[in-house]
Amino acid sequence: MRIIAGTYRSRILKSLKGLALRPTSDYLRETLFNVLGPSIEGSRFLDLYAGTGAVGIEALSRGAEESVFVENHAPAAKLIRENLASLKINTGAEVISSDAAAALQKLAKWPQQPFGFVFLDPPYALEHEYETSLSMLGNSKLISLDSIVIAEHRKTLDLAESFGALKRYRVLKRGDAALSFFCLESEAA
């Protein structure tokens, strides 16, 4: 697994052995960031269910001001910290070792600007996590009218069209995976 573009281009990231993680493929990450384009630069990026941290690190590599990584699996949270350290990323990165719901509640209390981008990729076996996290985001101040929320999921999983104020406006299918893009309702029209 490698960083696709930007400051850390071609740098290798570590992953956990076995089936503990299902990292977003290089191909799907490249597709995602090609869609998001230069709007990543200077943004705040939230990587929920971060796994190896590859998506949030890719955002930093492409100029995001900050990436917050949320990961409940302790060995994976440790791995994210190791990947950040191997790239000498000392600022603009925060790792929260917590489940997504608790982390979203904690983040809602931080006195900072909304996230420009939220990426979530829960374990495919935990389909209920999509509804929980997307509903919390759709009813929170963690995102603004300019924010984009992206959910990676199995292409055979049909997510709801809306979660609170979040409305889906695009789906990209690549291989066995899909990316669903959401924004706040007034922007989706």
Q: Is 82 exposed, middle or buried (0-12, 13-18, 19+ CB in 10 A)?
A: middle
Q: Is the pLDDT of residue 115 over 80?
A: yes
Q: Between 110 and 178, whose confidence is greater?
A: 178
The DSSP string of 59-109 is HHHTT-SEEEEE--SHHHHHHHHHHHHHTT--SSEEEE-S-HHHHHHHHHT
- Per-residue tokens: 173: 């299918």
% of the chain residues with pLDDT over 70: 93
User: pTM of the full predicted structure?
Assistant: 0.91
- CA gap 36, 67 in Å, rounded: 15
Q: Give residue 80's pLDDT.
A: 94
Is the model's pLDDT at 117 over the cut of 90?
yes
**Residue 19 burial (10 A CB sphere; 0-12, 13-18, 19+):** exposed
- The overall average pLDDT reported for the chain is 89
**Which band of pLDDT confidence, cut at 50, 70 and 90, is reported for residue 9?**
confident
Average pLDDT over residues 88-114: 92
Mean pLDDT of 46-73: 95
Residues pairing with 152 in the sheet? 179
C-beta neighbour count of 54 within 10 angstroms? 25
Q: pLDDT above 90 covers what percent of the chain? A: 69
Higher pLDDT, 57 or 26: 57
Measured distance CA(66)–CA(115) in Å, rounded: 9
Least confident piece of the model among 20-29, 97-106, 113-122: 20-29
What's the rounded mean pLDDT across residues 61-77?
A: 95
- H or E element that contains 162: strand 162-163
Q: Cα separation of 91 and 101, whole Å?
A: 25
- Residue 12 is predicted with a pLDDT of 77
CA–CA separation, 132 vs 51, rounded Å?
18
pLDDT at 104 over 80: yes
**8 has pLDDT over 80:** no
Spell out the domains of the chain, with CATH numbers in brackets.
26-188 (3.40.50.150)
Contact 152, 174 (CB under 8 A): no
Q: Would you mind telling me the total number of residues written for the chain in this entry?
A: 189
The stretch 67-93 carries a mean pLDDT of: 94
pLDDT band at 98 (very low <50, low <70, confident <90, very high): very high
What counts of helices (H) and strands (E) characterise the chain?
Answer: 6, 8
Across the strands, what pairs with 117?
A: 45, 148
pLDDT at residue 188, rounded to an integer: 43
